[in-house]
Amino acid sequence: MIGVGDRGPVAGVQDAVARAEREALAVLVSVQGLGPRTLARLIAACGSAAAVLGVASGPGAVARVVAASVAADDEARPMTAALAEAIVAATERPALVLDRVRALELRLVTIADPDYPARLRAIEIPPALLFVRGDPAALNARHAVAVVGTRRPTDRGRRTAARIATALARAEALVVSGLAVGIDGAAHAAAVEAGGPTVAFIGGGHGKLFPTLHDRLAEAIVASSGAVVSEYAPDTEPTKGTFPRRNRLISGAADAVVVVEAGARSGALLTASWALEQGRECFLVPGAIDAPMSAGCIGFLRDWPGAARIVSGIPQLLDDLGLPAAAALPKPPPRLPRRPTGEIRPPSAGSSLKTLDPADEPVAIAIARGAATVDELIAVTHLTVAGALGALTRLETAGLVSARHGRYAPAGPLAAVPADAAPAERSGGRTDGRAISPAA
């Protein structure tokens, strides 16, 4: 690690200034009632957060703070004397906040820091400061997708959220959510289980983590190179007002938002609205028209035609997101141990696969890897509907695929091919020039 002495005295001064600015922002953010707009006006008027603390100290500080709140904007309303007094009081006791930051092992990331997530920097009124537990670099993943939904999901909804998050993690995309019970928790847990990073934005301070039953999940998120993030000071209590404000960060930190289940008044719909306002893609999982937990998704799709998109399947969702659709398929089983030299082996599927028409091979490989429907095959292989159906017909005729109730499974010699070995049975590969990505 490069120390201050190794980088020279100028760099050391720069580090000290940056640290002072982070700590000053932490103190100011802890003031109840001081919103991001007023804070931005104070900083614009004084030049820096550290300078605001200077204005808020000494005789006449309350009047100076009130004056600074409108100095950069003549049309703004002056802050109340009570809020100015709260800022002055916080300035007199900075250790109350900074000691908590250290005790909770939080990192302070300002909007001027290189670690600040680029996606959040681009939204309207980005947080001046983030309190991060874990790795801030996770937020700058190349691909990031938010998975959100109701706190009271059905079993099917919970499983769907887990499957989507697992597929995203396998596709090396960051899973973003809000750590709430229900869909959020299922998405975080599945991403952790799949070995991918996930980031949780919470609706209060780290010292008041909510819900408390997700303490262990938060620990697992941090341990798996993810992060738990808040724009609130450590001891800020979560309220009904803090969660809607938190939702704009969930959507803002992602390239797209996926709503799995949402009632007619679900907060997840607010996240979906933020996504459209911020120029993010928005996907919703449909459901039965009389299912309460699908009412919000169906209504949103109806209200926003052409803007909100339907999730017709997990491979299709990944394809729409520009991610490898094959990541949605089941993870290949471990290879079986090699047989001893000289042991007589039964006929393998190799000879059968090598005699396949090259146009049929991608479909055979996808079915061996777990694709079960025509829609999944199309998403994974990028074939046309006619091409996929034609290949299925030929594979069924050859005894390599069986069909039942619209679902397909490997049969005969194809059923004996290990899923992770299937692509290596031929050297020809795909005829359209695109390889089928293995599930990581």
Is the confidence at residue 233, as pLDDT, over 80?
Answer: yes
pLDDT, residue 275, reads: 96
Give the C-alpha distances (Å, rounded to integers) separating 219 from 127, 216, 225.
24, 5, 10
The answer to whether residues 146 and 253 touch, using CB atoms and an 8 Å cutoff, is yes
Of 115-119, 144-148, 370-374, the poorest mean pLDDT is in: 370-374
Task: Answer with the residue of higher pLDDT: 349 or 353.
Answer: 353
**Confidence (pTM):** 0.78
Of 181 and 372, the one with more pLDDT: 181
User: Residues 344, 290: contact at Cβ < 8 Å?
Assistant: no
Reference 42, options 25, 23, 59; nearest CA is 25
For residue 281, the surrounding DSSP H or E stretch is strand 281-284
Phi and psi torsions of 302, nearest 5° = -70, -40
Q: What is the DSSP letter of 209?
A: -
Q: pLDDT value at position 412? A: 83
Average pLDDT on 263-275 reads 94
- Parallel, antiparallel, or unpaired for β 174-177 and 407-410? unpaired
Which tens digits make up the pLDDT trace of 11-20?
A: 555 677 789 9
Question: Considering just the CA atoms, what is the radius of gyration of the chain in Å?
Answer: 27
What would the mean pLDDT of 50-70 be, rounded to a whole number? Answer: 94
- Strands (E) in 71-184, as ranges, are 107-110, 129-134, 144-148, 174-177
Whole-angstrom distance, CA of residue 363 vs CA of residue 190? 28
- Specify the pLDDT at position 162: 94
Percentage of the chain exceeding pLDDT 70: 85
Least confident piece of the model among 201-210, 299-308, 323-332: 323-332
Amino acid residing at 254: A
pLDDT digits (tens, 9 = 90+) for 384-415: 888 888 888 888 888 888 988 778 888 888 88
* Average pLDDT value for the chain: 86
pLDDT of residue 359: 79
Q: How confident is the model at residue 424 (pLDDT cuts 50, 70, 90)?
A: very low
Q: Tens digit of pLDDT for each residue in 85-138? A: 999 999 999 999 999 999 999 999 999 999 999 999 999 989 999 999 999 999
Tell me how far apart the alpha carbons of residues 288 and 93 are, in angstroms, rounded to a whole number.
Answer: 55
Q: Residue 51: CB partners within 8 Å, gap ≥ 6? A: 43
User: For 334, phi and psi rounded to 5 degrees?
Assistant: -65, 150
Whole-number Å distance between alpha carbons of 40 and 45: 9
pLDDT at position 353 over 80: no
Element (H, E) at 200: strand 198-201
Residue 320 token pair? 């729409």
| Helix residue ranges, H only, 8-123 | 9-29, 36-46, 49-55, 61-71, 81-92, 95-103, 118-121
| pLDDT for residue 328 | 84
- Percentage of the chain surpassing pLDDT 90? 64
Asked whether residue 281 carries a pLDDT value surpassing 50, the answer given is: yes
- Average pLDDT score over residue span 10-38: 85
Confidence band for 208, pLDDT divided at 50, 70 and 90? very high
For range 135-159, the mean pLDDT: 95
> Which amino acid is present at 428?
G
Higher model confidence: residue 75 or residue 384?
A: 384
Q: Residue 44: pLDDT above 80?
A: yes
DSSP string, 359-413: TTHHHHHHHHTT--SHHHHHHHH---HHHHHHHHHHHHHTTSEEEETTEEEE-GG
